[in-house]
Amino acid sequence: MEKLDLNVQGMTCQGCVSGVTKVLEAIPGVNSINVSLEKGHVSLNYDPHQANVELLKAAIREAGFEVVP
């Protein structure tokens, strides 16, 4: 398992947190998702044989949020 920490902009409510969590849970190999609305931060563990960083970022973008450095 690999750990990934991302800064995400555009989350304004618990519905946003649920949306980000849902899109990430749908990706095979992803687990231990922690989304912080207050910090605009997403932490997760994933299996690099099943998912990659670009796929995870793309899923967040497709849900309507921005991944920032």
pLDDT in tens, 11-63: 999 999 999 999 999 999 999 999 999 999 999 999 999 999 999 999 999 99
pLDDT for 5 equals 98
pLDDT for 36 equals 98
pLDDT for 42 equals 98
Burial grade of 50 (CB within 10 A; 0-12, 13-18, 19 or more): exposed
- Side chain identity at residue 39, one-letter code: K
pLDDT for 24 equals 98
CATH code of residue 62: 3.30.70.100
pLDDT band at 9 (very low <50, low <70, confident <90, very high): very high
Q: Which domain holds residue 28?
A: 2-68
Per the structure, how many domains does the chain have? 1
